[in-house]
A and B are shown apart, each in its own frame.
Chain A
Amino acid sequence: QVQLQESGPGLVKPSETLSLTCSVSGGSISNYYWNWIRQPPGKGLDWIGYIHYTGSTNYNPSLKSRVTISLDTSKNQFSLKLSSVTAADTAVYYCARQAFSYSSGWSDFDYWGQGTLVTVSP
């Protein structure tokens, strides 16, 4: 059974960089797309971006100038960096798996982490 686990600081100061890591267990990072999704308190879900196991990335244009997603295949981990944060970046951050195959097409977000709350405050 694939499991994802987010980790990182729960408090970040305004203008600083938010950094989170997602550890994948019970399966390989290979052949999948690895995503970050966030949910501001009491609000809906927003897709941040993904990194493919080959290293290619795709980011939401609304955050593209501030987001970097990277991969460490040796540790079965991928990471999120969000720069110049403000209070609007306060949210629960989830990592999630996505797949694509030419036979089955897209399979979005079949496995999720438990989420980690990041608060942006002085």
Chain B
Amino acid sequence: LAKTTQPISMDSYEGQEVNITCSHNNIATNDYITWYQQFPSQGPRFIIQGYKTKVTNEVASLFIPADRKSSTLSLPRVSLSDTAVYYCLGREVYSGGGADGLTFGKGTHLIIQP
């Protein structure tokens, strides 16, 4: 599974767009890029997943360039409730050989201020 590197912390303000970039230089062909969000005292929650180019859902957008060595999670118009830890993971496509436990790093602690 790809080893990922992301900033330890970021600050922003309500109403701003926030972009969190993750580096994954050794990403494998079978790896998807997946982002999870974790609030204090809660389990992680899936946000978005992609393989290449751009993916958008109701929560966020994910941009993955052609070389797939990095990805950017974009949160539009953040609010105070977006304060959380965001994890970027390299996720291998399930091959049927066993379980697919996730490999979490320390994540990015995003703090949104009024």
Do A and B share a complex?
no
Report B's interface with A, CB cutoff 8 A.
none
Report A's interface with B, CB cutoff 8 A.
none
